[in-house]
A and B are shown apart, each in its own frame.
Chain A
Amino acid sequence: MATPCDTHVAAVPKTFLQQLIDVLCAKGYRVVGPALRDGAVMWDTIRQVSDLPIGWRDEQEPGRYRLENTGSDQIFGVVHGPQSVKPLAFAPREPLLVIERTKGSFSALPTLPKSEKVAVLGARACDLAGLAIQDHIFLKDAYRDPYYQTRRDGLFLIAVNCTRALATCFCASMDTGPRASAAFDLALTELEEVFLVEAGSAAGQAMMSALSLAPASTARVREAEQQIEACARSQVRRLDRSPLPQALYDAHEHPRWDDVAARCLACGNCTMVCPTCFCHVVEEVPDLTQTRSEHTRLWDSCFTQEHGYIHGKNIRPTIKDRYRMWLTHKLASWIDQFGTSGCVGCGRCITWCPVGIDLTEELPALLKPSSQAKEKPGQA
C-alpha cells in the first residue's frame, strides 16, 4: 500500500477521470460509481464523468438523508448513499442451486454467477474496510463461498479518500478511515484542481504505469494529507472501543436495552445498509409442477422474527432481544469471533434508521452504571 509521501503518488488534472473510465471500459470493465437516484446516490453504470453527481453533496443525520447542489465542480462531493460495496460482492438475492426432478431421480444444476469485471469508482475507506470483513467471512480457509468469490474476483476497486466528514461519520475512531487503507487497486484524493492517484495493488500499479502519470509534488501530497487529517478531526461522532468486548457483555441486563427497544422498529434497515452484516436466509422456490426448485439465498436480518426461530421456539421474541443481539455481536462478540470489530464507522445505520437510533449514543448509555442510565432514559 502506498503512503502519502510515496514518490508513486501522481497528480493528474480532473480530465484524467474520463481517461480512466475509457481505459477501464477498453479493458472490459463495467465501471460502477455513485449516481443520483431518488434523492440519494446509488451504484450505477458510469460511462461519462457527467454520470457522476458533480456539484452535489450529502447531508446526513440520524434518520435523515438529503442531497444539495452546491454548484461546485467537485466530482466526489457526495460521501456515500445507503449502499456500501456489499451488494456488488454479496448479492441481495441469488440462486445457489436449481434442482430439477427427473424420472426417479433429480439433478442439481449450478447457478454460479457469470464472472463480470466491475470497476468500482468511488468506494470510501469505510466501504473497503467493510469489504475486507466480508472477505474474511465469505472467503475464509476451506469455506469459500464461490458465488461471493466470483463477484469479488471481478472487482477493481478505485477508492476515494474522504476530505469531508458527514455528521454521522466516525471512521476515525474505528481506525478505518478517512484514508483508504484496506485493499484497493487505486486511490484518488480529489483536490480543487487535481486528483492525486496512488496504487494499492499490482493491478493498480499496472494501470498507473500504462497511463504514465506525472508524480505529484510534495506540496500537493501534503495538501491532500492535511485535508484528510482535517476530515478525521472534524468528525463529531466517535465510538470508544477500549472497554469492548467485555463491557458490553457485562451490560447484558442494562435498563437502556428496554429504552432503545421502545424506539427500535425491528425493520432491519440498519443491518441491510451495514457493510459488514452478512446474515442471509435460504429459501426453496419450487414451481407449480413440482419438477423444478430454486434454492435461493436472500439477505436476511437478525431483527426479524423468523431469524430467531429454531425448531419450535423463538429465541429472540422481543425487539429488545434482537437489538441487544445485533449490537452485542456487532461491537463485542464479533471481536471474539473474527478478531476485529464488526463496525467500520460508516454511520449508515444511524442515517438509514427511520427513527434515527444512533449506536454511538446507545453504547455509552449502555456502559454507564445503570442507576445513571435510569435517570437519563434518552429521547424515548
Chain B
Amino acid sequence: MSQPKDHGKPGRPKMAVFKFASCDGCQLSILNLEDDLLALGQALDIAYFPEASSDMREGPYDIALVEGSITTPEDARRILSVRKQAPLLITIGACATAGGIQALRNWGDVEAFKRVVYPSPQYIQSLSTSTPISEHVRVDFELWGCPIDKEQLLRVITDLLAGVQPRLPTHSVCIECKRRGNVCVMVAKGIPCLGPVTRTGCGAICPSMGRDCYGCFGPAEGAHEGPGLPPNTASLAKEFHQGLQLIPIEVLRRFRGINGSVRPFREESQAWEQKDRAG
C-alpha cells in the first residue's frame, strides 16, 4: 500500500468513507466500534469521513469504503471518480452491495412517485432504478447487512492490513442460530423466517430476539453471478405458502425487502408475483 502523504504515522494506509443513497447506518456502525474505533484510527489514517470529521483530505486513498446505492445521474458519475481514487474499494451494507430497500423503486414508476411527493418534480434528478455499486464499477470486496456487522468490517480491515485475502462465511443464518442455542422460530412458532436462505454474518440477531430473519444480509452462498449457487428460495417459499399458509403476495413481500433486487430474492419474488396475479 502507498504511503500516506500527510498526517498520522508513516505507513498507515489512508482510508476514505463515501456515501451514496443510504441512511448512514453503516457509517454509524463504524462510529459505534467504541474501543475498536481507537484501534482502527491507529491502524489506519482516516483521511476522509465527512460523517465523522470536517477534516476531509483529498485522495488518493488506499482503501475506500462505500455506503449507499446509485440512484441519481450525479452519483453514477461520482462513483467513477471514487473508484479512481483508491486501489481497494469495499462496499458497506445492503444499499451499496445490493441496491438497498430503495431498490423497491425498480418495480415502481419513479416519475409517478416524484409527481406525488414534490410540487415541482421537474427539479428532481433521479434515476428510475437503485443499483448496487458493482453494477457501475469493479468492487474488491462486499460487506452485506442492514447495517453491516462491525465485527465483519474489522475482520476485513484486519485481513487487508495483514496482506491476507479477506474471506467471510456465506452459509445460512441457521448455523449461527444453532451455535448460539436459539430455538428455531420457524419450526417452533411457525414464523416465516428467511434464515435458511440468508447469509450469515449478523450473529443471528433477530432470531435471538424471537423474531424472524428478514434477509438483511442477502442470499446465502451464491448471491450474485459467479462462484456459488443461489440458495433454494423456491423450496422455502413453497413451505411459507403450503406449510405456513402465507398467500402469494405475502410470500412475495418476504423476498422483496432490503435485498429484494439481488437475483435469487428478486426472481423468487417475481415468481410469487405471477402466482398472485394468477389469483
Contacts and interface: CB of A to CB of B under 8 A. Distances in A.
Interface of A: 37-40, 42, 63-66, 81-83, 87, 92-93, 262-269, 272-273, 285-290, 298-301, 303-306, 314, 317-319, 351-356
B231 A38 contact: no
A272 B175 contact: yes
Contacts of A40: 183, 188
Q: Is the interface of B mostly helix, strand, loop or mixed?
A: helix
Given A267-B174, A285-B155, A306-B170, 19 more contacts: A40-B183, A64-B187, A81-B183, A87-B181, A263-B235, A265-B172, A265-B196, A269-B196, A272-B178, A287-B39, A299-B179, A304-B175, A305-B170, A305-B222, A306-B169, A314-B227, A353-B187, A354-B193, A355-B243
B188 A299 contact: no
B36 to A, nearest CB: 7
Contact of A267 (B39, B196, B243): B196
28 contacts: A37-B183, A38-B210, A39-B188, A63-B239, A64-B190, A81-B183, A87-B181, A263-B232, A266-B220, A267-B175, A267-B196, A267-B197, A268-B172, A269-B174, A272-B178, A286-B159, A287-B158, A288-B36, A289-B39, A290-B162, A301-B175, A304-B169, A304-B172, A305-B221, A317-B229, A319-B232, A354-B186, A354-B239
Contacts of B235: 262-265, 355
B174 A272 contact: yes
A64 B191 CA distance: 11
Given A92-B179, A269-B178, A305-B171, A354 B39 contact: no
A308 to B, nearest CB: 11
Contacts of B98: none
**9 residue pairs, one from A and one from B, having the closest CB atoms:** A272-B178, A267-B196, A39-B188, A304-B171, A92-B179, A38-B183, A267-B174, A265-B196, A267-B172
Contact of B179 (A265, A272, A355): A272
A285 B167 CA distance: 12
A265 B158 contact: no
B43 A288 contact: yes
A354 B187 contact: yes
Contacts of B238: 355
A1 B228 CA distance: 50
Contacts of A93: 179
A63 B240 CA distance: 12
Contacts of B174: 267-269, 272, 354
Interface string B65-94: 000000000000000000000000000000
B175 A65 contact: no
A209 B232 CA distance: 56
Contact of A265 (B170, B183, B222, B231): B231
Interface in B228-253: 228-229, 231-232, 234-236, 238-239, 243
B181 A288 contact: no
B195 interface: yes
B189 interface: yes
A355 B242 CA distance: 10
A40 B178 CA distance: 13
B161 interface: yes
Contacts of B195: 267
Most buried by B among A39, A42, A351: A39
A355 B178 contact: no
Contacts of B184: 65, 82, 269, 352, 354
B188 A66 contact: yes
A352 B188 CA distance: 9
A42 B181 contact: yes
B183 A63 contact: no
Most buried by A among B155, B174, B196: B174
Interface string B200-235: 000000000010000000001110000111011011
Contacts of A83: 181
Contacts of B139: none
Contacts of A267: 172, 174-175, 195-197, 220
Nearest to A285: B155
Contacts of A314: 227
Contacts of B162: 286, 290
Nearest to B233: A265
B86 to A, nearest CB: 20
Given A306-B170, A352-B184, A288 B189 contact: no
B127 interface: no
B21 interface: no
A39 B191 CA distance: 12
Contacts of B222: 305
A351 B183 CA distance: 12
A289 B181 contact: no
A42 B183 CA distance: 8
B219 to A, nearest CB: 12
B239 to A, nearest CB: 5
Contacts of A87: 181
B104 interface: no
Contacts of B196: 265, 267, 269, 354
A292 to B, nearest CB: 11
Given A38-B210, A290-B158, A265 B171 contact: no
A265 B197 contact: yes
Nearest to A314: B227
B274 interface: no
Contacts of B170: 304-306
Nearest to B227: A314
Contact of A288 (B39, B172, B179, B182): B39
B162 to A, nearest CB: 6
Contact of A268 (B42, B171, B189): B171
B138 to A, nearest CB: 22
B188 A38 contact: yes
